[in-house]
Each structure stands twice: as C-alpha cells, then as structure tokens.
A and B are shown apart, each in its own frame.
Chain A
Amino acid sequence: MTDPGGSSRPQPTRSEATGQPGGSARPGPGVPPGAMFGPGSQFHRFFNDPRWALAMLRATVLEAAHPQVGAALIDNSTFVAHPWRRLRNTLVSLQRMFGTDDHARQREAARLNRLHARLSGTDTRRRRYHAMDPQVRAWVVATLFESSVTMCRLSGQPLDQATMEQLYAEFRAFLAALEDGPGQLPPTLPEFWSYYDHMVAEVLENTEAMRIILYKLFDHIPAPPLLDGLPTVWAAGRALAGPVVSAITVASLPEPFRRRAGLPEVPGARTLMQSTYTAVGLARFLPDEWIRTETLTGLLYLSPDGDDPRAAAFGALRERMKQAGAFVRLVTPLSTPGAPASPAAPRRSAAEFFTEVLDQTGDGYLEWPDLAAMAREISSRLDLDEPQETRLYDAYAAWWRELQAALDADGDGRVSRQEYAAAVPSLAGPALIRVAEVLFDVTDKDGNQVIDEDEYRALFRTGLRRSVAGSAPRYTRSAFVKDFLSFMSGRLRSSPYDPLLTKA
C-alpha cells in the first residue's frame, strides 16, 4: 500500500502543511473527488494508525457478539489456534478491498464470497447461520466503521461530520463491492446510528465466541513465529498484557451492551481505556516507517528460519532475547519440582501433531472445519481461482470422509484426540495422496510438472533449499507427494509444511 507523505493520516496540522484544501477531511488534490478506495480515502488514514489495532479488536468483539457471526466463528475460525495467520490474512484482504486496483478488488471480493459461501451451519441453539447472509455481512462492516469512529472519539480527536460521512460512504462501498449490490447498510449516517443502536440493544448477545476473544484468546495466544523460541518472555508479557487488553476492550464497548451481556465494570478501566487510546494515538508522531501496519504484521509473520533479509536482521535481536530468556530461566528459583516439557523431538507425538497441525480451530476435535481451514489457508496463499480452489476443497473433503470412516470410533461425527492417537497409521490413505497430488497441481501454476523457485515460494514463503550440485532447484511431483505424506503421517518436524500448517 502506498501512503505518500503520510498525508492521509488523521492529523490536521500535517495536512494543512501539505496544503490540502479543507483540512484532512477530504481527499488530496491528486485524487479524483469522490474516490471511495485507494490512498485518498478515509479508510487509508486509519489503516496505518496504531489505534486501529485496538479498534479492530473491539470490532471483532462486537462482530462475535452477533449470534450468527459468533456461531460461524466458533465452528470455523482458526483464530484461537492460529491468531497471527488469521490477522495477517484479514489485513491483506482489507488492503486489497480498499486498494486502488479495481480488478484486484473484484477478485478479492469473489474470493471472499467463495470462502464465505462455504461457511454455514447451526449454532448450539439450533439456529441456522450462513456467512453469506446479507444482514450478517452488513453487521460486520458496521462494526468496522463504528469502531473506527469510536476510536477517534475515545482518543479525544473526534471526526467531524463530513469526514464521518465520507468514511461511512467508503464502508458502504466496501460492502457493495462485496455483495455486488447495494448491501444492507442504511443509506445515510443518521439511519445508521439508529440501526446500530437497535443492533446493540436487541440483537447482540453474550456469545461464546465473544467470551473466547475477550478472556481466552489472550491467555493462550501463541507467540508469533519470530518469538517462538522465547516462550518465557512471551508468556510473561502475555500474562501482564492479556487482562489489560481485555479490560480496555470491555470498557470501550457500548454501555447498553455491557449491561445486557453482564460484562464486568472494573474500576478505572474506562480511564485506562481512554488513556490507552490517547497514548497509542500519540504514536502518529513516530516515523511513518515504524508504524506501517504492513511492516508490523509482516514482522509478526516472519519465520525465524525463513530466508527473508529482515529475519536475518532480526536474528541478532532474537539472540539477545534468547539470552534474556535463558537468564530468566536460570535465575528463577526452583520452586516447582515438575519437569518442563522435554525439548522438541524431530518427530511429533500423535497428540502434538493433532494439536499443532490437525486441530486448526483449536477446539480439541478434528472436524470438517479444521480441514477446510487448511484448504482455505493454502488457497489464499496460492491465490487460487476457480476451478482449482474447488478441486482443492473437494480433495480435502474426500480426505475428511476417509478420516471420518477410519478414525471416528464412537460415531459422533468428529475425531477426538484419543481416537486419532489410537489409529495413527491409517492416516495415509488414498484420499490423502489425492490431496497431495491436487496440492501439487495447484501449486504448479505453469503446469510444467515441476515446482520451481517462484511456485515454491508462493506456497511456503521461503526459498527452495539448494541442492549441493548447485543446479537450479526443482521439486518434482513424486518428491512433493512423498514429503507431504511423510509430514502428514510421519509427523516430521522441520519440513517446509511445518510453517505452512502449524505456525500461529
């Protein structure tokens, strides 16, 4: 995303300095009037605003409080087990939707629609949900808009009416691009606020997904791949930050909803919340490069073993952190006699493999949504179009039927950790081989029957290991299928599939 000169950030003084007419409320002179997307839009001002992290979290909580969205999240989302991957995918998607490229936007909308069309079911109270329901999608966009507005209000820099209307128009355009129609958001801002109040007062519930986001996610959020080697440091930071972030988010929710959902009123939480929003807002005085959302999320997603130059640069810092972690562990008094987990073995135990790879939604059971999540991750990495995407999903669905038939001993329709551990060897059936072959086909974009450097990088986000002979690295079908199978059934670590399917 290009953000020339930072002129699109919410900062009146700077936009005056750059000579934009009418303050920051309107697009810059180089942008055609009424541009809904691209660098001139209001949305782009927020995208690099650090406060947006808080606003996004708040929006997600409000989203999850919608009974249908909550049920869909619980059943299908990987955000508990793989929050960082999920965050990155969301941001990339938003960037495409709000970018200047109309073609990319249409493709992304089509992709999102295909993705969402696959998400439907019934919640615990037997109510149906469907991710394509226009009402549901309108609410998701509404929470994004409202949280952006509230973010500005809470940090003491409220948007003026014109800016707010412009921003609302952009989010409506976003929904329209997604729906390929006007969408279900009210046409004007005053109508929006009564719609919003109605939703807050009547529709939202204290859903399980919301409670998980507020209270469970931060207790268990795994370290981003880069900090994977520093569990102590991560756990210590998380133990401190988790409850604070929960309290801040709860305090920023609409009062009527807090009351109805029975969320706690912690003394001082409101003040803390407002000061945090203000303080984070001050980060706008930092150099642009530091707070670019994509820079930060890119860092979060870096694998320390990858060949990205930034990973190497970070390596030194990581060494220091490792030393600090080692020091903390060494000087911690020996109070618990219980031995910590033994160091990572090259092979996973069946239970480890279940948790790290198979159970993508983190609910302790292997179900179709877990495998669908793998298919989803692979197809978004490879940026698949139809019909390849459906081929991949179909292969995964066939594998799921095979797994279910082989492993579901008690016939409850899902595979538990115990059932899996009891029957590990039968994992590599013909359907899994089929998955490997389809995966090879869709990765091999040019169809020349070998995966070359670029195709490999698209799937694994790292380069092929060069062979000793120094010849151009290639990956043949048989080697690819063999590696995939040995990862899936042999549970080997340190294969390229590891970061693809396990990393947070």
Chain B
Amino acid sequence: MPSHVACVMDGNGRWAARRSLPRTSGHRAAEATVIDVIEAARTAGVRWLSLYAFSTENWQRPDDEVDFLMWLVRRVVRKHAALLHARGIRCRFLGVADPRIPAPLARDFADLMTLTATNRGMTLTVAFDHGGRADIVEAARSLIRSGVPADAVDERQFAAHLPFPDTPDVDLVIRTSGEQRISNFMLWQVAYAEWVFPPVLWPDFRAPHFVECLRTYQSRDRRFGGVTPHANGEPHP
C-alpha cells in the first residue's frame, strides 16, 4: 500500500466542454470527486494524501475563472471542515503565499489547519497556489539564511528546509484525464514516485478508479534506481 498518494486533478475544463457547460461547472463537479477520493484513500489505509488544487501558474487563467475558483474553494473548505475534522483528518495547505488569495479564504485555510492540527488520522495536503520550484527556491533561501557551510548540505538537510518537512516522499501520483506532465508539482517529493495516468476526467473519477490506481501501483516493481532482485533470469515468485 502506498503511504503517500498525490492526485493532480486534471480535466475539469474538458469535462465541462464535452457537456457544453461553462468551465466553472467543471470545477463545481470536481467537489464530489475530491470528497470521494478522500474517503477512498482513508478507507484504503493511505496515510498521506495530497491534492493539487491550484498552481502558481493557474493565476494566468481568466480573472472570472480565478475568482470563481477562490469562491468555490472557500465554500468547499467551509462546507466540509466539520466532516474532515470528525474523520480525524489533518488538513494542511501547501503554498498559499500569494497576496492575491482573498483574506477570508486565507483565514479559512488557517482555521482549518488550526482546527485539525492535532488530528492523527490521514494527513491531507492541499497544494494551493503551489509551485514545486518555488518550494525548492524557498528551501535554498532558508538554508542560506541558516548559515550552513556548503559542504555540510546533504539531501536530508535540504529537505528539512522544505515546507512541511515531515511530509514523506510521494509513492504514487495519479494524474487524471490522460495528460502526462508533472506541471511543477511537489518536484522534490515526487523524485521516485510511480505515476499512473487514468484517462478518466477528474469530475468522473470515483472511488473505484482510485482503488484501481492503487492496484496498478501494487503491481509496479519499484526499484529506486537500483536493479530488481529478480534480475538475471531468476523466475518471479
């Protein structure tokens, strides 16, 4: 079972376009999937779930859509806060540094983090206004500020300067809608992640799809850059 699963929630716009609906209704439909996936991950025993909700590049989308997304996220957060807390889920928001994020939304993010900070069930990390490179740059800055000599820096020490340093490496990334890109998502943590690309669009993605992805992951042979123990013609068990 993967300990850390991340989802890149792709395909909302196409989902809406196929139905001749405005793009916003695609985002609206994504809410149900988010809740379904959180439930599925919890039931399956995944300890860490990360969702890529909004990237630093998404600010380039039309203002209307951005405004709608801000409004929708705020609504979703408030609507499900009690439920998430009741399920013992610890919620965190990765990124959230841009001043364009409306103050009430930032307040709700902070409140949800405060409310669920002591929960010890699954940890849900929502990447909002997130960019993988920006995180690495931030870590480098923090490292330089701490005055560590260059020779003393190793991977572990560097990782300790990333936001939420307790987050383990991502084991499995699910990117829906068949797109096969990284899109600047948790670059440091996905170094050895397995990727699956189900063709289904995010608003249609449901618990069974999620379980299917987990099964795909279990069938993968993770080598972390080494060779498989069953090389050289030895039969697989």
A residues with CB within 8 A of B: 319, 322-323, 325-327, 329-331, 334, 339-343
Q: Please measure, in the bound complex, the distance between the C-alpha atom of A327 and the C-alpha atom of B86, giving whole angstroms.
A: 11
Contact B106 A330 (CB under 8 A): no
Contact A331 B111 (CB under 8 A): no
Interface of B is mostly: helix
- B102 at interface, CB cutoff 8 A: yes
Contact A340 B115 (CB under 8 A): no
Contact B111 A326 (CB under 8 A): yes
Report the 3 A-B pairs with minimum CB-CB distance, sorted nearest first. A326-B111, A330-B81, A326-B114
Residues of the A chain whose Cβ atoms lie less than 8 Å from the Cβ of B102: 339
Residues of the A chain whose Cβ atoms lie less than 8 Å from the Cβ of B82: 327, 330-331
- B204 at interface, CB cutoff 8 A: no
Residues of the A chain whose Cβ atoms lie less than 8 Å from the Cβ of B103: 339-343
- B40 at interface, CB cutoff 8 A: no
Chain B 31-75 per-residue mask, 1 if CB under 8 angstroms from chain A, else 0: 000000000000000000000000000000000000000000011
> Can you name 12 A-B residue pairings with CB atoms under 8 Å?
A323-B118, A326-B112, A327-B81, A327-B85, A330-B81, A330-B111, A330-B112, A331-B81, A334-B75, A340-B103, A340-B107, A343-B107
Chain B 75-108 per-residue mask, 1 if CB under 8 angstroms from chain A, else 0: 1011001100100000000000000001110111
Contact B108 A330 (CB under 8 A): yes
Interface of A is mostly: helix
Q: Which residue of A lies closest to B107 (CB)?
A: A340
Q: Most A CB atoms within 10 A — which of B75, B81, B107, B118?
A: B107
Other CB < 8 Å A-B pairs besides A329-B108, A340-B104, 19 of them? Answer: A322-B114, A323-B117, A325-B111, A326-B110, A326-B112, A326-B115, A327-B81, A329-B107, A330-B78, A330-B81, A330-B82, A330-B108, A330-B115, A331-B78, A334-B74, A339-B102, A341-B103, A343-B103, A343-B107
- Residues of B in contact with A, size category: 20 to 34
Residues of the B chain whose Cβ atoms lie less than 8 Å from the Cβ of A319: 118
Q: Please measure, in the bound complex, the distance between the C-alpha atom of A334 and the C-alpha atom of B115, giving whole angstroms.
A: 18
Contact A323 B78 (CB under 8 A): no
Q: Which residue of B lies closest to A330 (CB)?
A: B81
Residues of the B chain whose Cβ atoms lie less than 8 Å from the Cβ of A325: 111
What's the least CB distance linking B186 to chain A, in Å?
A: 26
What's the least CB distance linking A369 to chain B, in Å?
A: 36
Contact A343 B106 (CB under 8 A): yes
Residues of the A chain whose Cβ atoms lie less than 8 Å from the Cβ of B108: 329-330
What's the least CB distance linking A325 to chain B, in Å?
A: 8
Contact A329 B106 (CB under 8 A): no
What's the least CB distance linking A268 to chain B, in Å?
A: 37
Q: Which residue of A lies closest to B115 (CB)?
A: A326
Residues of the A chain whose Cβ atoms lie less than 8 Å from the Cβ of B85: 327
From 128 to 156 in chain B, residues with beta carbon under 8 angstroms from any chain A beta carbon are none
What's the least CB distance linking A84 to chain B, in Å?
A: 25
Residues of the A chain whose Cβ atoms lie less than 8 Å from the Cβ of B110: 326, 343
Contact B115 A323 (CB under 8 A): yes
Residues of the B chain whose Cβ atoms lie less than 8 Å from the Cβ of A334: 74-75, 78
Q: Please measure, in the bound complex, the distance between the C-alpha atom of A334 and the C-alpha atom of B114, giving whole angstroms.
A: 19
Q: Please measure, in the bound complex, the distance between the C-alpha atom of A258 and the C-alpha atom of B22, giving whole angstroms.
A: 67
Q: Please measure, in the bound complex, the distance between the C-alpha atom of A339 and the C-alpha atom of B85, giving whole angstroms.
A: 25
